[in-house]
């Protein structure tokens, strides 16, 4: 996979969990493009930068003392 130069896009679901999806394919239901497109390694690096809290959004909200 290291020589995989296909284009991917970063997608995120309503729980703010990230994944990558082939840029050539329609995004699966329940997922939304986050605006970043690149090679597989570039997309994974982007996810490493932006997905700093792995807990699903619903759990983060439930654990929020102000919520």
Q: Model-level pTM?
A: 0.83
Could you list the mean pLDDT of each consecutive 10-residue stretch along the chain, which spans 67 residues? 82 97 96 97 97 92 83
CA distance to 29, 37, 44, 52, 60, per residue, from 65 (Å): 32, 36, 32, 19, 10
Ramachandran area for residue 24 (φ above 0: left; ψ -120 to 50: alpha; else beta): alpha
Structure tokens at 41: 């390694």
Structure tokens at 67: 């919520």
Tokens 């003392």, located at residue: 65
**What pLDDT does residue 49 have?**
97
């Amino acid at each position: 996979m290291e020589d995989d130069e296909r284009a991917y896009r970063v997608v995120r679901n309503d729980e703010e969990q990230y994944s990558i999806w082939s840029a050539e394919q329609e995004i699966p239901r329940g997922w939304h493009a986050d605006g970043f497109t690149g090679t597989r390694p570039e997309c994974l690096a982007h996810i490493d930068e932006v997905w700093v809290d792995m807990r699903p959004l619903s759990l983060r909200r439930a654990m929020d003392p102000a919520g």
